[in-house]
Structure 1
């Protein structure tokens, strides 16, 4: 585990699977620290998507401001590179103001690019993507995959022809830069320059997590999740291939509104998709070093995290502790 000297700048990272209790821990630490919460969530960036993303309430956001929440329209795209640049700026601002950056969220790709660095890939370009999408509709995804193989066989070997999101990204990178994704990933930007203390929040018992996921999905439905998606669908400019509409739950509710699946199937598929997301998140986390695991069923998350962090403030506590 990275050792942090009291009074020196550092970053707190709170990750974990969906529905585990990450957000509440971040807010509890905010109460005790002179901190700044930065969201690490690819769904919370979108406006008008509150219920299905389990976004903190307006009252909670007023009391515990979260950076990188409600920053984009659902029709827009946001890459891991976009997140990295924005998060680094916010972390620098917080440290300059003697605040502790408290990063919280479950988008593991965002964490990986921030903590471990990333290749110098160009950001997403809507016009290029639209042109590639139109070409795919005319000639088929297999034709685009064959083109990718002609200049980037390594990426083509990794990306299945039926994986349009990754295929589009690889072709987009080449179109924008003139260099293949494989070539660009060889030049890596450095990781986070400040030491980080990393917590992972997750029940040790997988059944408990599955129960939490099911209860939260049902709660979302009771809060008006279907009406939220119906309003987004009625805009006319959104579709299921957009990153925003690929967020867990939104696709299933959209399909229900289209009449493609029943209400029972929508619920079952939404819960199953959320469980698959949690499984992927846990797989990522188990491969990461230096994680301090917190089980919300065994400990008080805030007290356990605080006891772990207290000695980090020993030298100059007035710099980091919340002022009365």
Structure 2
């Protein structure tokens, strides 16, 4: 395989975008975003979508491609990126994939089981049931339809529980019987770069970035999508805290505090997830020349 995908991961606020642009320009290539919220065209400030200046420095893909009203998952992302990579590898020997959405990165690196598209009527029916009755009845359905998956799933994660029931009802088979968890072979090599830094420095960067988001107009952006707050695409840090503020749950200062706290918690979760992957080589984002030397050596 003569083609290589350079993957740059790390926690929120670490500097993945600037690193990816630097690397992409070094190889005169293009960038694929692996961010589950930057794909939505209505969300820019709160998702730290690359600025117009950054977008002009390197060609980016998978940014602002969908509406928050669209159903989109890691499985759809895998399909889209694999098709896109075929086109881009016709022009380039290397490509850069960057983002902090763990499942989206894994979807490209490892693949996701080929599961059926869920009928919209079924999805809406289960959603209505959850909103009316809570998760307990749906958990009972899962236990009856797929006791094996029931025993291993996080029962507090209502999205996973509901999705498993959707699959069971769509196919007539247990969800667990359709999950192979096998790693798919890819027609390209992969070089995995992780960005990290001292935890205190990272948290300071995250807090500062939240402040800058508010200066850039985060409140106005959130107010525009507030009428659609129940959408899954808006169940994300920076939006849900302000929604709760607008609903009268707490004051504005508390909302800012929670956005910063939840962003820090998400960063910790990202680092824990990515550090499970022994194929990732870790660098401080300031060590760009060392990163380039490592990539060159791997190539």
Would you say 1:37 and 2:31 are equivalent positions? Answer: yes
Would you say 1:304 and 2:290 are equivalent positions? Answer: yes
- CA deviations 1:288-317 (Å, max 9, x no partner) are 012111113xx432x22212223456xxxx
SS of alignment partner, residue 144 of structure 2: helix
CA positional deviation for 1:120: 1.9
1:128 aligned to which of 122, 140, 161: 122
Aligned to 1:166: 160
How many residue pairs match? The answer is 299
Aligned to 1:244: 233
2:251 aligned to which of 262, 277, 290: 262
SS of alignment partner, residue 132 of structure 1: helix
Q: Distance in 1 between matches of 2:172 and 2:281?
A: 42
8 Å CA contact retained: 1:19, 1:212: yes
Aligned to 2:268: 279
8 Å CA contact retained: 1:10, 1:196: yes
Q: TM-score, normalising length from structure 2?
A: 0.93
Q: Distance in 2 between matches of 1:53 and 1:140?
A: 29
Q: Map 1:1-324; keep pairs closer than 5 Å.
A: 8-186=2-180, 188=182, 190-203=184-197, 205-233=198-226, 236=227, 238-240=228-230, 242-296=231-285, 299-301=286-288, 303-311=289-297
Q: Distance in 2 between matches of 1:16 and 1:125?
A: 35
- CA deviations 1:119-165 (Å, max 9, x no partner) are 22224554322110112234432111101100111222233554321
Mean Cα deviation higher: 163-172 or 133-142: 133-142
8 Å CA contact retained: 2:146, 2:168: no
Structure 1 residues 260, 91: CA separation in 2 closer, same or farther (over 3 Å shift)?
A: same
8 Å CA contact retained: 1:217, 1:270: yes
- CA deviations 1:229-288 (Å, max 9, x no partner) are 00111xx3x123x23211211100111122221111101111111111111111111110
> Please, which runs of 5 or more residues in structure 1 have no aligned partner?
314-324
Q: Distance in 2 between matches of 1:22 and 1:143?
A: 42
8 Å CA contact retained: 1:77, 1:124: no
8 Å CA contact retained: 1:82, 1:123: no
8 Å CA contact retained: 2:145, 2:165: no
8 Å CA contact retained: 1:114, 1:191: no
SS of alignment partner, residue 35 of structure 1: coil
Q: Distance in 2 between matches of 1:268 and 1:191?
A: 43
SS of alignment partner, residue 210 of structure 2: helix
Q: Distance in 2 between matches of 1:44 and 1:189?
A: 26
Q: TM-score, normalising length from structure 1?
A: 0.87
8 Å CA contact retained: 1:20, 1:202: yes
Q: Distance in 2 between matches of 1:109 and 1:156?
A: 21
8 Å CA contact retained: 2:191, 2:298: no
> Please, which runs of 5 or more residues in structure 2 have no aligned partner?
none
Q: Distance in 1 between matches of 2:77 and 2:211?
A: 30
